[in-house]
Amino acid sequence: MIIDWIYGLVGGLLIGLGGLILLIFNGRIMGASGILGQLIEGKQDTENLERIVFLIGVIAAPLIILQFSDFSTTNVTSNTIQLVLAGLLVGAGTRIANGCTSGHGVCGISRLSLRGLLATAVYISAGALTMVTLRTFWGLI
Amino acid sequence: MIRLLVSSVSGLFFGFGLLISGMTDTAKVQGWLDILGQWDPTLAFVMGGAMIPMAAAWAIIAKKAPVFDLSFSMPSNKTIDFKLLSGSVLFGMGWALAGLCPGPAIAALGFGGNGIILFFVSMIVGMILTKPMRMGSISTADG
């Protein structure tokens, strides 16, 4: 249990370093939903290649580590309806709110942004309420 | 060119961190939200850890320009509006349902199999469907 927290902290520091690099050198905020969303919506600027190499880095990094050690990877459900509904909600919600766990959470709160702080409080509360309803009360997920 | 290098290194750090922290593991993320069950506080350590370098970064840039750009592209929107709150509610519900948010879903694409791919494609559809809601708005992305 405690070892999970230490890995969490170390992983968190690495995530923060990624954000630091992008902010200090390129002047951009490391928000996953923003970077992906702007790319697929075909935002008209000169930065789409930067977004693509960022995303390639995110996908490649775990594959590199998994060559050498076996971290717990994922326990994703195989329920199609659950995955489709969850994906639609996450995609729509993060773009409507203009940010997700990385943008509003990590980057926003560390900047003392009220929007980031409020968004994070709301999506964690909504997530916990959903969890309590679907798992604790209904035993569905 | 140098900006591409920065972007890819940043992405690598993000991906390393997401895997090592356990955030690509949907069970751990759902555990964080499972407050009346087997609550797992790991996500708080991840968030806290990530904010240390980020807080330093915000302090460093306070009065300067980025190294490889003329200015920072900062969120200018400061208003607390219905979109921020309703979008976050929808996001939170989906987050709980599968235990995935955008970053970890991307990081797990290479090893997560069909389930992750199905979630990822659905997430992109969700993003495209809401594009009209952003038309005509001047807000820049928070993240």
- Which of the four pLDDT bands, split at 50, 70 and 90, describes residue B143? low
Q: Quick one: CA dihedral B85, B86, B88, B92, positive or negative?
A: positive
Whether A3 contacts chain B with CB within 8 A: no
Please check the confidence at residue B136 and state whether its pLDDT lies above 60: no
Number of domains in chain A: 1
- For chain B, the domains span 2-134
- Which of the four pLDDT bands, split at 50, 70 and 90, describes residue B75? confident
Provide, as residue numbers in chain B, all residues whose Cβ is less than 8 Å from the Cβ of A3: none
- The confidence score (pLDDT) of residue B135 equals 63
Whether A138 contacts chain B with CB within 8 A: no
Where in the sequence is the domain holding A126, given as residue range(s)?
Answer: 77-141
- The confidence score (pLDDT) of residue B142 equals 66
Please check the confidence at residue B140 and state whether its pLDDT lies above 90: no
* A/B interface, count of CB pairs below 8 Å: 524
CA distance linking residue A89 with residue B127, whole number of Å: 9
Q: Tokens 């905020």 — which residue?
A: A29
- The confidence score (pLDDT) of residue B138 equals 44
In a domain, A39, yes or no: no
Residues of chain A with pLDDT under 50: none
Whether A93 contacts chain B with CB within 8 A: yes
pTM for the complete prediction?
A: 0.95
SS3 A14: helix
Please check the confidence at residue B72 and state whether its pLDDT lies above 90: no
In a domain, A112, yes or no: yes
Across A109-126, b (16+ Cβ under 10 Å) vs e yields bbbebebbebbbebbbeb
Give ipTM to 2 decimals: 0.97
In a domain, A102, yes or no: yes
